[in-house]
Amino acid sequence: MFQNSPEAFKAIWKRVVNRETVTYGIAGVLTTLVNYAAYYIFCNRIGIENLIANIIAWIIAVIFAYVINDIWVFKDHISNIRLEVIKVIKFFGARLFSLIVEEAGLFLFVDLLSLNNLVVKAALAVIVIILNYFFSKLYIFKKSRIEIV
């Protein structure tokens, strides 16, 4: 049953760890750093309420994420302006969903349970990165399923 397990593992590894997933991971870390730094500045330095600071940080991070995902990660260059606008709307819509998840988490764990806002924000970032990858891969930057042999 497990005779071909090294080959099976290699096949799975090759499918999971590739240029796209590695660059997405790097882009995700960079986007998270942009988001986290903006949140820290607005919330902990300027004194803006944590949920408002999170929305401002989200806007900055989503703009950064769109550019880096479009140009570097998924290399999805569309020459048709209509299709590009649709892609932008999909991207921001999917990110809006992850913002709602993050806002709910901040409200629950920071506002209601009084946990440290920076720790909660960091933990929520993991969930958001995973959600955003699947939205990007399967919905926003999906490649055509038709391949020429």
pLDDT at 146 > cutoff 50 = no
**Within-domain flag for 53:** yes
Amino acid letter, residue 54: N
Question: pTM score, two decimals?
Answer: 0.76
pLDDT at 114 > cutoff 70 = yes
Total of domains in the chain:
1
pLDDT at 50: 94
Packing angle of the helix pair 81-106, 50-68 (nearest 10 deg):
150
**Within-domain flag for 10:** no
- Determine the Cα–Cα distance for residues 133 and 69; give it in Å rounded to an integer: 10
pLDDT at 3 > cutoff 70 = no
**Candidate from 20-29, 107-116, 140-149 with smallest mean pLDDT:** 140-149
**Within-domain flag for 61:** yes
- Per the structure, the complete domain to which residue 19 belongs is given by 15-140
**Within-domain flag for 109:** yes
**Within-domain flag for 97:** yes
Average pLDDT over residues 11-17: 78
**Within-domain flag for 32:** yes
Reading the block at residue 15, the tokens are: 């499918």
17 or 31: which carries more pLDDT confidence?
31
pLDDT at 113 > cutoff 60 = yes
**Within-domain flag for 148:** no
**Within-domain flag for 6:** no
Which residue, 82, 67, 41, 74, is CA-closest to 142? 74
pLDDT at 21 > cutoff 50 = yes
pLDDT at 116: 97
Average pLDDT over residues 50-64: 96
